[in-house]
């Protein structure tokens, strides 16, 4: 579990504005099952150590099977990678993070939940001089995955009202291929 504050201005490359804070993920493989309180307590610790302030927006990179929602939150479908945390499956993880941090005295701004591949794609696409339509996000680690911007109108599972607000200017949407599962 890692967190850092990033300063990012339009047309510039983002920069670290804090040290990278890290903790072992509660409930991770090799550790006992925990409840959501212990899980999100560790999140509060890393956010605090990274200097999070009231009102800060949060990009929450969450690398487990989720159903993304148009409001930026995502519902956890199931844990993988031998993670065992009670009380999170079936819930919006961004909402749970905001609620838990608020109980601990930190009022986060908007929380947007992203898969690691999409976070890589979006971060790279915002760099100066990059043409988003020609950019991909690639993860190579304990597994592999790739994402790219695709025409939103070609994503048949999306209702028409969701297509109109997608991606860069409504014409493209970030798509996670989950290629590691093939």
Cβ within 8 Å of residue 137, ≥6 positions away: 117, 118, 119, 120, 121, 122, 123, 124, 146, 147, 148, 174
What are the per-10-residue average pLDDT scores of the chain (182 residues)? 86 82 92 95 95 94 89 94 95 97 95 90 82 88 86 77 52 83 60
* Predicted local distance difference test score (pLDDT) of residue 95: 97
The pLDDT score that the predictor gives to residue 164 is 55
- Range 22-26, long-range pairs (CB < 8 A, 24+ positions): 22/46, 25/1, 25/83, 26/85
- Enter the pTM of the model: 0.80
CA gyration radius for the chain? 17
Which pLDDT does position 99 carry in this prediction?
96
- Report the distance separating Cα 174 and Cα 51, nearest Å: 29
């Amino acid at each position: 579990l890692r967190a850092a504050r990033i300063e990012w201005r339009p047309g510039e490359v983002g920069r670290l504005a804090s040290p990278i804070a890290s903790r072992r993920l509660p409930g991770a493989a090799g550790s006992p099952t925990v409840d959501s309180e212990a899980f999100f307590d560790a999140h509060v610790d890393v956010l605090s150590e990274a200097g999070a302030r009231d009102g800060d927006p949060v990009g929450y990179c969450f690398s487990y099977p989720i159903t993304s929602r148009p409001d930026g939150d995502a519902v956890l479908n199931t844990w993988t990678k031998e993670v065992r945390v009670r009380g999170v499956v079936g819930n919006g993880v961004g909402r749970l993070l905001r609620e838990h941090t608020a109980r601990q005295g930190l009022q986060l701004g908007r929380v947007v939940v992203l898969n690691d591949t999409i976070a890589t794609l979006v971060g790279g696409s915002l760099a100066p001089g990059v043409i988003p339509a020609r950019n991909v996000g690639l993860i190579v680690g304990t597994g592999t995955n790739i994402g790219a911007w695709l025409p939103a109108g070609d994503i048949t599972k999306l209702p028409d009202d969701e297509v109109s607000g997608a991606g860069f200017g409504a014409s493209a949407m970030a798509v996670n291929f989950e290629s590691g599962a093939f």
